[in-house]
Structure 1
């Protein structure tokens, strides 16, 4: 539906207003600080590339395409090559497009544009080869190897402080990430008081994106690991569940360091680099592969709808062969064949 009257703001003014909205959402918990910073940076880049003095409503789909192409060709200072700076990766291009699209979606609702030009934009970026290996789900053997290494500390492994058993903490981190698939921001934000018991079942109240919360029951092994960790956690005024060896709340980068440290103890045959987000994919993939209800998996991960969940379901080696061997329309015939084979063997 078109607005009755368009507010012909410039690109610069629209971006400024949108950034104020984004910052307000980060203050109220509607957006994470990291996401807010990305949106603000991307739309500021959009303003420079599109022309700050142009009227936002005058931009067409072709204009947006030109900006997307200009961003794609823009050198990425974070990466370098022998011949100079590399251009933006496909992932960065896709992220930039999402940021710009979110701004125009708000612009259409606010009456800054009559029609959203993103609907006519055609430039898209594809991630070659799908997800990066670190973001893909681990296979069952790889995931079990990681969990096993976390729960069996190497001989002689000691913590840097006697009042903390960091190997117990590391095991809890790996178990929570692999079995519940929280966002890394949700994990480092967790406090001791967020875990409670109801009717003998231990729950984690997770404070997620958009100010939404979800209460997820812990598998028995994870609940036991939590109890063991809390028993070894030093008494401190710090509310954070996960503490560094200095007694401070863990940061996002610390979580990756924990995963890498545990991975180093995994049998090389079943070892593969993975990020916290890759473990989130692992949770979704194996729960769905085991026949868990899709809506239950959605609630565990904290997605608002099932369409988002589809992006977290990765392909597992051999899953098509297993599916065809146990096809639901042929199970009765297969059972009869097995009975016939058994009768023939008795003759």
Structure 2
């Protein structure tokens, strides 16, 4: 139920209250810490772009259009410096990806729906937004999943990295086995990046000769995912040879450690992927994010006619409708499907 009167608070005050509410919801399990972090970061960016001292209820659709445009041009801090410099040299082009822009817009929509209920605004200004994707830089959501050739090149590079001698001067800074394991797990098992960095050594176990990973996912749900044998072998090599070099006794449970001996941070995972990508031959190389590798897992399992419910359980989705968003088109898959059309081939006797 909405309050009878509108409380004319500043953008900064509204954002601070909202952030406090979102963080409180992580305690009750309504939001995962990763989801809460994204919402909080986006609304704090909104306050910076909209003007923290402005009255929230004074913002209209034109103001939100300006915020969306400003966010689209905002440099992406996750990208390498050379990439940001190249973007800066192209004025008028969007720096944020289409996925980041869509996520930011969703975060603002959720924020303003709460603002209406809380009595901070009379009307939701997001309903009056008119700026289009073309205005924001013409970006369209691209296929996130790697093709079989691209994914094969990435996995081959990871295996070569695991097998090659380290170039690090200090023995305790050798991370090749760890980097290879990160990329192989992301590409073949498709965990969320938060699930990967939260993983502990004790989460991996053997049952009836099969290696499993107990993944602690969203909403307190867990799933036991069997690891393919090459992945299990790489995991064992890392635990026996790679992790002991990084272990400083600071994080005795964490699976993935930085060279300082602390749990690998979510923000470090993209840098790990980029290091492995640098070893992929250029003809098979394509930039990809951790979430893009999750799409890759889903897409190729489904393309191989794996049962949809099994893929859902591997990825940790609560229902099949979510899985459909992770299925990207692959080059040549329609042609392959029509070549083996079941109605045009004689039945085997």
Partners of 2:314 and 2:53 in 1: CA distance: 41
The equivalent position to 2:103 in structure 1, one of 75, 95, 99, is 95
Please report how far the alpha carbon of residue 299 of structure 1 lies from its aligned counterpart in structure 2 after TM superposition.
2.5
Aligned ranges 1:1-347 → 2 under 5 Å: 3=1, 6=4, 8-10=6-8, 12=10, 14-26=14-26, 30=31, 31-32=33-34, 34-45=37-48, 48=51, 51-52=54-55, 54=57, 63=60, 65-74=61-70, 76-78=73-75, 81-82=88-89, 89=96, 91=98, 92-107=100-115, 118=126, 123-125=131-133, 128=138, 130-132=140-142, 136-153=144-161, 157-158=165-166, 160=168, 161-162=170-171, 166-232=175-241, 233-234=243-244, 236-237=248-249, 238=251, 239-328=253-342, 330=343, 333-335=344-346
Measured after TM superposition, the shift of residue 82 of structure 1 is 4.9
Change (3 A) 1:250 1:113: same
TM-score by length of 1: 0.77
- Determine which structure has more spread, i.e. the larger CA radius of gyration: 1
Select between 5-14 and 306-315 the one with higher mean Cα deviation: 5-14
Distance 1:106 1:228, change over 3 A: same
**SS of structure 2 residue aligned to 1:205:** strand
Q: In structure 1, how many angstroms separate the alpha carbons of the residues matched to 2:311 and 2:236?
A: 25
Runs of 4+ in 1 over 4 A off after TM superposition: 4-7, 26-29, 82-90, 107-124, 126-129
After superposition, the Cα gap between the structure-2 partners of 1:324 and 1:207, relative to the gap in structure 1 and judged at 3 Å, is same
Name the CA shift for 1:190/1:118 in 2 (closer, same or farther; >3 Å). same
* Aligned counterparts of 1:213 and 1:116: Cα–Cα separation in 2: 37
**CA shift in 2, pair 1:316/1:156, >3 Å:** closer
Q: TM-score, normalised by structure 2?
A: 0.76
Return closer, same or farther for 1:119/1:326 CA change in 2, 3 Å cut-off: farther
Q: How many aligned residue pairs are there?
A: 324
Structure 2 SS opposite 1:206: strand
